[in-house]
Amino acid sequence: MKSMFRIALLALSLGLGAGSVSAKLPPLSEEAQAKAAEAKIKAADGAKLAADQLAAAQDRVAAAWKAQTAR
């Protein structure tokens, strides 16, 4: 029973402490916003390239499988 009380007390104190820890960050500067936008565009381009490469690899595998099963 004592350990249950300790666990409840710990959970309560952690829950109350979490509210004071989560502070609001200041808004990003224009330079930081531009950098973030550039990084987002770069990431999107990288994702598109990866998707295209995956599609090409899948096409090669499918073509090889079709050629092998057609025998």
Q: What is the pLDDT of residues 13-64, one digit of tens each?
A: 777 766 666 678 889 899 999 999 999 999 999 999 999 999 999 999 999 9
Selected residue with higher pLDDT from 64 and 71:
64
49 part of a folded domain: yes
Domain count, the chain: 1
**pLDDT of res. 20:** 60
Q: Is 6 within a domain?
A: no
Give, in degrees to the nearest 5, the angle at Cα 57 between 65 and 70: 15
Q: Which tokens sit at 43?
A: 């990431």
Q: Residue 51: which domain range?
A: 29-71
Round to whole Å and give the CA distance between 16 and 27: 26
What's the DSSP call for residue 22? -
**What pLDDT is attached to residue 18?**
64
| pTM summary value | 0.55
Residue 61 lies in a domain: yes
